[in-house]
Amino acid sequence: MAMDTGRTTSTYHLSDMLVAVKRGRTLLLALLGAGLAVGAALAVTTPAEYVSHTQVLVRPTGVDDPNVSGGRTKGELNLDTEAQLVKSTAVADRALEILGGQASAQDLAAHVTVEVPANTSVLTIGFSGGSAVAAHDGAAAFATAYLEHREATAKETIDTEIKGVDANLESLRGQLAQVSTDLAAATAADRVVLGSNKDLLSRQIEELTSRRSELDGKLSTLAGGKVISEAVTPSSPDKPIVWLDVAGGGTAGLLAGFGAVLARERFSRTVRRAADLPERCGVPLLVELPASVAPRFADVYGAYGPAGKVFGRLRNELIAALPERGRVLLVVGVDEGPGATVVAANLAAAFARADLPTAAVAAHASPYLALPDMLGTPSVPGLADVITGRADLDEATVRAARHPRLSVLGAGSAARAGGWPNGAMRQITGALAQTAEFVVVEAPPASGDADAQRLAAECDAVLLVAESERTRLSAVSDLAEQLRRVNTPLLGAVVLPRFKKRRPDAPETVPTVQAGSGAPEPRFERAGAEALTEIMPAIPAQHGEPERAGDLLVAADAEPAGDTEAAEAPAGEVKARRKGRPCPRR
């Protein structure tokens, strides 16, 4: 009799996420607004930052080190190295001297950026400052400092080499003078050797003299590069970028909102989506009423509307799950509210539309919504009157005018402090099942007391009703465990959108009327948005006089109070006289 749960999975689909976002739109919009506010605050509080750029063409000085193997550039210059030199301490110290500021060289270098355009010998030097003038002066100062440092380094290298050449020339000239002196006094045999040495020294002196002249030429024309694009005073700050800060804050807030909504959905203790029931409670999901369907309390849903089709589908599945005739189905809501009443009334109407004789029983005097009101029948006499012997089952059971195959037994007017006697419900449902293929019983909410479990023990199967965003998952699991302990099959659950609580203006107390006492004044309560339902207390009929129950006039055959059959019957025995009629009267 267990029903299939294969229609649900443990995966969050796009539709689940969209529904979660719709439910958590307040949180999502709050975090989005917070993100936008943070982004705007960041844009307002961030100091303005101006950036100026200048471009320097780097030229070989003639004394540069050769390009390293694998370098990004292929010429004599390694521009990657030069880019790092721009931000070196030596260049920063010189730029600080030019600017005349009080900041340290390290702080100044932190404001410098250097880029090398592809396939060029150009360095793009950028400098950021708190003002446009500071940015312009900083970029110009670093370009000048870099070129000066480059030229000074090259000049120092050339000067060092010149000194070496001069020292070698002086040494060679001294050696040449000595050889010349020795050659004048040498013998014929020594002249050949000394002459050869003299020629060698002369050639070396000539080469060094040529190198000395070359170095003098380099020194006179030394230039490490030049500025090809002067620094420009920026007209507007580069930072903050207001739209970027606001967009970034909004994006962060939106992502945080999505994460918070999905986390709340996943770890919520209430039923957030229908798939939570089979996944987290092990309760099969039968149908879910769409959230777009407006609540309807004055009547059942139409057969061809979205909600009517849902209950028609539920009816077909229950017929397949309960093939035997005369099965008693208990509809119990996990929470207080009109949910169980709505499901019981619409399910009973769906059975009746399929030309199946059906009986609907209100085993609970709900303060929110009465089952007979939805089906167009009077509430009294009803179940309580049958149990207390105030009315026969035939008299209390009324045919629904709009559903000829549906008979309705209301909750009645007489209340019992201890509930109904043991076995009373089984006797009544058994009597109804003689002419009905399905008996749909609306049970008290499981959150109230143990009456729902007690009723379940006297029924063939149970249908659980949960409300999205209200019913706690722990309550669903607890109810499933209660049903398991009384060995009543739980067919599954129907998930409804959350209903607003329909509390009465005053605490609901159904009066108990003793035989022979005066009848209290009629009491009214709002049972639906469209109409008021008049609940009349049962008034005991005098012997031989007719008795009116709602709009029905029936000849009463009850004996006077104190001598009635109900007073003599043992506790738990229900007077359910069928009077030979095949089915309840209209």
Residue 532 contacts residue 526 (beta carbons within 8 Å): yes
Provide the pairing of β-strand 122-129 with 112-115.
antiparallel
What is the rounded average pLDDT of the residues 487-494? 90
Q: Is the pLDDT of residue 349 over 80?
A: yes
Q: Locate all alpha helices (DSSP H) within 241-323, ordered by sequence.
A: 242-267, 276, 306-321
Going by pLDDT thresholds of 50, 70 and 90, the confidence category of residue 399 is very high
Give how far the C-alpha of residue 267 lies from the chain's centroid of Cα atoms, to the nearest Å.
11
CA 381 vs CA 123, 212, 384, 442: distances in Å: 99, 130, 8, 17
Structure tokens at 151: 């030229």
Going by pLDDT thresholds of 50, 70 and 90, the confidence category of residue 269 is confident
CATH number at residue 284: 3.40.50.300
Q: Write the CB contacts of 164 (distance below 8 Å, at least 6 apart in sequence).
A: none
Q: Are residues 103 and 25 in the same domain?
A: no
Q: Write the CB contacts of 187 (distance below 8 Å, at least 6 apart in sequence).
A: none
Q: Are residues 476 and 524 in the same domain?
A: yes
Q: Taking each helix axis as running N to C, give the angle between helix 89-99 and helix 132-184, from 0 to 180 degrees, rounded to the nearest 10.
A: 120
Nearest Cα neighbor of 371 from 325, 333, 318, 427 is 333
pLDDT tens digit sequence for 76-96: 678 888 999 999 999 999 999
What is the rounded average pLDDT of the residues 17-44? 87
Q: Are residues 485 and 400 in the same domain?
A: yes
d(CA 576, CA 70): 104
What is the rounded average pLDDT of the residues 377-396? 88
32 forms beta bridges with none
Nearest Cα neighbor of 296 from 209, 375, 232, 406 is 375
What is the rounded average pLDDT of the residues 525-534? 36
Q: Are residues 148 and 261 in the same domain?
A: no
What is the rounded average pLDDT of the residues 47-60? 90
Which pLDDT score is estimated for 67? 52
Higher-confidence residue of 152 and 21: namely: 152
Q: What helix, strand, coil percent values describe the chain, rounded to 5?
A: 45, 15, 40
Would 340 be classed as within a structural domain?
yes
d(CA 86, CA 135): 16
Q: Are residues 36 and 118 in the same domain?
A: no
Would 547 be classed as within a structural domain?
yes
Which pLDDT score is estimated for 501? 55
Q: Which of 206-215, 222-231, 445-454 has the lowest mean pLDDT?
A: 445-454
Q: Is the pLDDT of residue 452 over 50?
A: yes
Residue 279 contacts residue 10 (beta carbons within 8 Å): yes
Which pLDDT score is estimated for 540? 42
361 forms beta bridges with 409, 441
Q: Are residues 201 and 219 in the same domain?
A: yes
Q: Which of 51-65, 227-241, 347-361 has the lowest mean pLDDT?
A: 51-65
Which pLDDT score is estimated for 311? 92
Q: Is the pLDDT of residue 126 over 90?
A: yes
Q: Are residues 204 and 58 in the same domain?
A: yes
Would 19 be classed as within a structural domain?
yes
